[in-house]
Chain A
Amino acid sequence: MNLSLADSGRRPALSADVATLAYRVLAVLLLCAVLALASEAFFTAANLLNVLRQASLVFLIASGLTLVILTAGVDLSVGANVALSACLAATAIKATGSVLLGVAIGFGCGAGIGLCNGLMVTWLRIPPFIATYGMLWVLNGITYWYMAGDTIHGFPPGLRALGSGHLFGVPVPIYLMLAFLAAGTLFTRYTTYGQEIYAIGANMEAARLSGTPVRARLNLVYVLSGAMAGLAAIVYLARLNSAEADIGESLTLPPIAAALIGGTSLFGGVGTLTGTLVGSIILTLVLNGMNLLAVNANWQPLVTGVIVLIAVWVDIVTRQRAEARA
């Protein structure tokens, strides 16, 4: 039959996702090599486990955020979300002694915030970056007012184990990271919801005209992003054994950086949770390296900012090149 023009029989050697991942894993190995040479404190079991634990905290937040970015959206409120959820959960735990209640409240608060974000985007049609940016400040305000400068500390050992405990010598948060990596990958690759989310990010109007319930899926991803922030809040509580209003300060940019480094495209439709995991590791390695080399901690926000810019620029250049090839 008629094989129409312009369609070369050339098949890509590796699927795009696998190639993306490969480059990033290479970057991890490279970084490890460089750091091992630069500092003898790097290549110890303790430090490596530390890196992984830090990375898992970032990953927990970044995983939900990845889903949002997949739909060509963004959630700038995750950091503030963690702060408020942590403080509310902490209050509940101190008041009733029940860890379970605290977890439920933290989770619920996070998810509720996520739902508000989702409704602002789908119902009020506010662009995601404005809606979640406004939410960031609202949450910040509420958290600082609520805590009034206090700190809540001293939680039951059951909770603390979640953040500081070890299982077979490996910190618990790492298990959480792997668990949510598995859950998230299952969701994105093996459910129809995952397929629809990728479709929405790739072309929202085409998805809508194919019968995809776009608004429902958008609300879902924002709720999930918020819920994961709520979950991360619990783990932070467990790890720091205290809750203060400012724990969210440094949690706005790093999860976005992690997702972007991992190959998630801001323009939607491209990205994987495994990539975000690797991205979290890369980011943490860089920051860990700076710590080991006794670089002033004040450089960290700067470096994170530069990394975000580079990651976005790479994304744009890749798209332009792909565009030219088509």
Chain B
Amino acid sequence: MREENPSAPLVEMRGISKAFPGVRALEDVSLLIRAGQVHMLVGQNGAGKSTLVKVLCGATAPDRGQILFRGKPATLSSPADARALGIAVIFQEFSLVPYLDVAQNVFLGREFPGKLPGSINRRRMHAEAGRLLQMLGTELDTHTAVHRLGVAQQQMVEIAKALSQDARILVMDEPTAALSGREIERLFEVVRRLRREGVAIVYISHRLHEVFELGDWITVLRDGRKVASMSPADTRMAELVSLMVGREVDTTYRHRFCERPGEAVLEVRELHAENGLHGASLRVHSGEIVGLAGLVGAGRTELARAIFGADRITGGEIRMQGHALHASGADRGPVGSVRAGIGLVPEARKTQGLALIRSVQDNLLLAALRSLFPQGWYRPRHASRVSTELIGRLRVATPSPRRLTKFLSGGNQQKVVLGKWLTAGSRFFIFDEPTRGIDVGAKAEVFGLIESLVAGGAAVLMISSELPEIVAVCDRAYVMRDKTIVGELLRTELTEENILRLAWHHG
């Protein structure tokens, strides 16, 4: 690792380590942040970037390690401490108040006092806000209510807000995620301008060409560790890619791949949906585990929700085992999908997949009520039998079917969500990040269960941000970008590099 640049660092993070229950988010990470420099932070989902940012802005305390400000140790026990040091973070969800105007948002909590007690000196507030925006090269009427601004403009307001607090270190988390063409150019100009002013910028991005266009220094994180740190001049995109990727998969997750896929269980043609999805086409056959890869924001969850009917479809066709889905009124939405035999294991299992205050048994049987009790009469004894048998089959660690699901561990909760669809007799399963927040042992179990599903003739579509998983487990994979499917990779072509190549290429 070659370190250059003579000026002393503004902030030094030394040996930062942080663990959450079940996962080591950061392991001995050190980096230097210098004034007047754009420091690019790259890495995959789960590499530790957001945890590092949270430590830097005082939202989380590290287990080990030190933060030095201008060479002296600093304690960041709260966001206020970080602000006092001049550290400002712009997250992807802006903290703006929709019905206040630009100036009021910029100076929220730090308004200039007017003549009467409690009043605001609006003239001065608007003048100052205008000045800051001008410095950013943006022309905005500071009297505009923020909810009427586009995302790019709201971002400018956030930046102005940070600057108004004399931020000397600005952290930007995926700033171009919601922007398009010219807006991105504008943002780059602003970043360059700030750099000239001597502001230190920490910039997180998935878009590698941005790294080379804008960055002065790059730090690569992988699995919570810093694996490389260099100047853009000393590396190439391919090297960055292989640094970010390339994790050893030490467990064999899949035992037998699908040699001869059966009939097409699910066919999607030119699907458009209200959530932004457009022109998506894919097919999943019986016996297959098909992966769905892409970066954050590529549209994978949107596709899953559109297929399941959770979001409204505006065009295109879905066929489940030959029958058109969401065709007529009664069949629309999740009710029709479930009846047709589709099961969705959502990404947010606690808020969307389970009713935590209800028992394991109740959760397991919810999707199958109509098929288990067609007359409408619920028989507790039969229910108990079915759920006990399922708990045994899935090896859910619970002392009783009546235990509330909120007391189960993540892995067991996931099994309950999966079990819900087994009881319902689903033939097509959509898994959205099935192993997120689950420890290694349970991961193997989950994949084992998925494999037994397809061995029995079911079809599976699996969304995952962990590329090694997709490569190790799936028979094929589709790659998404910008809310549509941009490519398909067959088993022979399924490598992490190929996935990333399709996922990143800028249109």
Say yes or no: A191 contacts B351, CB within 8 Å.
no
Asked if A209 and B308 make an inter-chain contact with CB atoms under 8 angstroms apart, the answer reads: yes
Contact of B399 among A9, A191, A194, A213 (CB under 8 A): A9
How many Å lie between the Cα of A194 and that of B378 in the bound state? 9
B334:A211 contact, CB within 8 angstroms: yes
Are B378 and A195 in contact, CB atoms less than 8 angstroms apart?
yes
B471 → chain A, closest Cβ, in Å? 24
Q: Decide: A4 and B411 in contact? CB cutoff 8 A.
A: yes
Contact B355 A5 (CB under 8 A): no
Distance from A27 Cβ to chain B, minimum over Cβ atoms (Å): 24
Docked complex Cα distance between A291 and B352 (Å): 49
Q: Point out the residue from A11, A194, A208, A213 that lies within 8 Å of B400, measured CB to CB.
A: A11
CA distance A212 to B424 in the complex (A): 12
Segment with Cβ contacts to B, from A134-142, A199-207, A279-287:
A199-207
Chain A positions within 8 Å of B344 at CB level: 209
Q: Are A210 and B441 in touch, CB under 8 angstroms?
A: no
Is there an interface contact between A193 and B22, defined as CB atoms closer than 8 Å?
no
What chain A residues lie within 8 Å of B402 (beta carbons)?
A: 15
Is A196 interfacial (CB 8 A cutoff)? yes
Q: Please, how many angstroms separate the alpha-carbon atoms of A5 and B356 in the complex?
A: 18
Q: Which residues from A are CB-within-8-Å of B335? A: 211-213
**Shortest CB distance B176–A (Å):** 30
Kindly list chain A residues whose C-beta atoms are within 8 Å of the C-beta of B424.
211
In the complex, what distance in Å separates the CA atom of A198 from the CA atom of B362? 9
Which of B338, B355, B400 sits near A206, CB closer than 8 Å? Answer: B355
A11 touches B378 (CB 8 A): no
**Whole-angstrom distance from the CB of A203 to the nearest CB of chain B?**
4
B352 contact set on A, CB distance < 8 A: 205-206, 209
Closest to B349 in A: A206
Cβ A196 vs Cβ B369 within 8 A: yes
| A210–B409 touching, CB < 8 Å | no
Interface status of A302 (Cβ within 8 A of chain B) = no
A194 to B411 CA separation, bound complex (whole angstroms): 29
Do residues A211 and B339 form an inter-chain contact, with CB atoms below 8 A?
A: yes
A45 within 8 A of B: no
Cβ of A269: which chain B residues have Cβ within 8 Å of it?
A: 355, 357-358
B334-A5 in contact (CB<8A): no
Query: A residues 304-326 with Cβ under 8 Å of B?
Result: 326
Report the minimum CB–CB distance from A316 to chain B (whole Å): 14
Q: Is the CB of A192 within 8 A of B370?
A: yes
CB distance from B413 to the nearest CB of A (A): 10
Chain A residues whose CB sits within 8 angstroms of the CB of B99 once the complex forms: none
Against A, the Cβ 8 Å flags (1 = close, 0 = not) of B86-123 are 00000000000000000000000000000000000000
Given A1-B445, A15-B402, the answer on whether A210 and B338 have CB atoms closer than 8 Å is yes
A191 to B373, CA, bound (A): 9
**Whole-angstrom distance between the alpha carbons of A209 and B398 in the complex?**
24
Q: Are B378 and A192 in contact (CB under 8 A)?
A: yes
Residue A3 at the B interface, CB < 8 A? yes
Determine whether the beta carbon of A199 is less than 8 Å from that of B358.
yes
- Residue of chain A at shortest CB distance from B344: A209
Measured CA separation A190–B377 after assembly (Å): 6
Q: How far is the CA of A192 from the CA of B380 in the complex (A)?
A: 11
Interface contact B355-A4, CB-CB below 8 Å? no
- A210 and B366: CB pair below 8 A? yes
Q: Is B285 an interface residue (CB 8 A)?
A: no
Tell me if B155 counts as interface (CB < 8 A to partner A).
no
Q: Mark B314-333, 1 if CB is under 8 A from A, else 0.
A: 00000000000000000001
Query: Considering residues B21, B339, B369, which has the most beta carbons from chain A within 10 angstroms of its beta carbon?
Result: B369
Within 8 A of A (CB), among B364-417: 365-367, 369-370, 373, 376-380, 395, 397-400, 402-403, 406-412
A211 partner, pick from B22, B338, B408, beta carbons under 8 A: B338
Q: Is A6 positioned at the interface, with any CB of B under 8 Å from its CB?
A: yes
Complex: A15 Cα to B402 Cα, angstroms: 9
Q: Assuming the A-B contacts A195-B362, A210-B366, A211-B367, are A7 and B408 also in contact, with contact meaning beta carbons closer than 8 angstroms in the complex?
A: yes
Interface status of B337 (Cβ within 8 A of chain A)? yes
Which of B366, B398, B400 contacts A199, CB < 8 Å? B366
- A192-B378, A195-B366, A209-B344 known, 17 other contacts, Cβ within 8 Å: A2-B441, A4-B397, A5-B439, A7-B412, A15-B402, A192-B369, A192-B370, A193-B376, A203-B357, A206-B351, A206-B355, A209-B308, A209-B310, A209-B334, A210-B367, A211-B367, A211-B424
- The residues of A with any CB-CB pair to B shorter than 8 Å are 1-11, 15, 189-196, 198-199, 202-203, 205-213, 269-270, 326
Counting from the closest, the 10 A-B pairs by CB-CB distance are A211-B338, A202-B355, A203-B355, A4-B409, A192-B369, A2-B441, A210-B367, A3-B397, A6-B409, A210-B366
A-B contact list, 21 entries, CB within 8 Å = A3-B397, A4-B411, A4-B441, A4-B442, A7-B398, A7-B407, A7-B412, A190-B379, A195-B362, A195-B369, A195-B378, A202-B355, A203-B356, A203-B357, A206-B352, A206-B353, A206-B354, A207-B355, A207-B366, A209-B308, A211-B424
